[in-house]
Amino acid sequence: MSEPQVVLVGFMGAGKTRVGQALASLLEMEFTDLDAEVATRAGGTIAEIFARVGEAGFRELEAHALDDWLREGVGVLASGGGVVETASALRQLCEHHPVVWLDPPFAELRRRLQAAPRTQRPLVAGRDWEALRLRWEARRPLYGRCSDLHVDEVADSAAALAQRVHRALAEAGLL
């Protein structure tokens, strides 16, 4: 692949899509949202796909879409928050560089998720914050295992955070 591929990982609400769009713009590269790609392929919203095939079925579709993008895609990819829960996807992410982990504190994630419509994120529909916190804690070591850059700060804007990510990737020689 001649053009770099940057993958953003992190829990739902971490800002992968917004920061990814801003980073792609900065790098003058294409942007792809893995959840949107899965929704297009499956012909429905994420909530509809979860209702139709369950979380395990969704994760399988997500892993296939990730595999295809890593082989053929270019630019910046915002992964799904749970992509690291599928062994094959985690393995692929660990072999790919660069992977950037966006990791705001759980309190910030909760604030963002509370502001989102319930229908947008199936795992937030019940608003069981303790279950979500436990899921966040369980995923954190997986994000850490596959990431080249860990960003645990909250910026004023997605553009400001994208600039920090760009600078850090360049300084690390990952671009």
Which pLDDT tens digit goes with each residue over 51-68? 899 989 999 999 999 999
The full set of domains in the chain, from first to last, is 5-171 (3.40.50.300)
Determine the Cα–Cα distance for residues 136 and 145; give it in Å rounded to an integer. Answer: 14
Q: What is the pLDDT of residues 16-44, one digit of tens each?
A: 999 999 999 999 999 999 999 999 999 99
Query: Buried (b) or exposed (e) across 86-122, using 16+ Cβ within 10 A?
Result: beebbebbeebbbbbbbbbebeebbeebeeeeeeebb
Q: Does the pLDDT of residue 159 top 80, yes or no?
A: yes
pLDDT value at position 91?
Answer: 96
